[in-house]
Amino acid sequence: MLSRVASNLYWMSRYVERAENTARVLDVTWRMSLLVKEPRLQDQEWFAPLNITGTLFPFAGRHKVANAREVLHFMALDPENPSSIYACAKSARENARAVRGSITSEMWEVLNGTWLEIQQMDEDKMLQRGTSTFFDWVKDRSHLFRGVTFGTMRRDDAYHFARLGTHLERADNTARILDVKYHVLLPSVKEVGGAVDYYQWSAVLRSVSAFEAYRKVYRDAVTPIKLAELLILRPDLPRSLHFCVKQAFETLNYVKNDQSEETLRKAGLLLASLQYGKISDIFTKGLHEYLTAFLRSTQEVSNGVQKSFFAPILVE
Binding site for another protein (CB under 8 A): 1-6, 94, 97-102, 105, 108-109, 112-113, 116, 157, 161, 255, 257-258, 309-310, 312-315
Decide whether 73 or 167 has the Cβ nearer to another protein.
167
* 8 A C-beta contact, residue 131 and residue 23: no
Which has the closest alpha carbon to 19: 126, 127, 111? 111
Q: How far is the CB of 154 from another protein (least distance, A)?
A: 11
* 8 A C-beta contact, residue 17 and residue 173: yes
Classified as helix, coil or strand, 89 is helix
Q: How far is the CB of 1 from another protein (least distance, A)?
A: 6
Decide whether 113 or 235 has the Cβ nearer to another protein.
113
Q: How far is the CB of 23 from another protein (least distance, A)?
A: 23
Q: How far is the CB of 314 from another protein (least distance, A)?
A: 8
Decide whether 94 or 300 has the Cβ nearer to another protein.
94
Which has the closest alpha carbon to 303: 135, 140, 172, 187? 172
Alpha-carbon distances of 276 from 233, 270, 297, rounded to whole Å: 9, 10, 17
Decide whether 293 or 311 has the Cβ nearer to another protein.
311
Q: Where are the beta strands (DSSP E) in 123-182?
A: none
Cα 115 to Cα 81: distance, rounded to the nearest angstrom = 16
Decide whether 225 or 313 has the Cβ nearer to another protein.
313
Q: How far is the CB of 83 from another protein (least distance, A)?
A: 20
* 8 A C-beta contact, residue 71 and residue 59: yes
Q: What is the DSSP letter of 292?
A: H
